Amino acid sequence: MIKFFLMVNKQGQTRLSRYYEHVEINKRTVLEAEVIKNCLSRSKDECSFVEYKDFKLVYRQYAALFIVVGIDQTENEMAVYELIHNFVEVLDKYFSRVVSETLNLLQNIFSLSKL
């Protein structure tokens, strides 16, 4: 099961976040900071799957954008890895290039879906 979905730039700023389990706002900031630190500090030669606390992190880098998905222990890492790639392909198809304006638009769409 997917716990959260993050899009982060190279500076470590969260550009988009979506949580699929309730996490308090103050805990989200701490969680995101630790997750970003873990993923951005890894080299390109290292595996894109990271064990973190009671779940796994699956991430991919596209230019200056990192996409990180938190999953539980039973989820298939390779399937999530491919899901990330498919998500980026869809964004690329519809928006021609995944840029920060697109991320702002997606943030607004995700916010509306919570209503």
Q: Using CA atoms, how far apart are residues 106 and 71, in angstroms rounded to an integer?
A: 21
pTM (2 d.p.): 0.80
pLDDT tens-digit map of 9-65: 888 888 889 999 998 999 999 999 999 998 888 888 899 999 988 899 999 988 888
Domains of the chain are 2-100 (3.30.450.60)
**Do residues 23 and 40 make contact, with C-beta atoms less than 8 angstroms apart?**
no
> How far from chain centre, in Å, is Cα 112?
19
Residue 97 has pLDDT above 80, yes or no: no
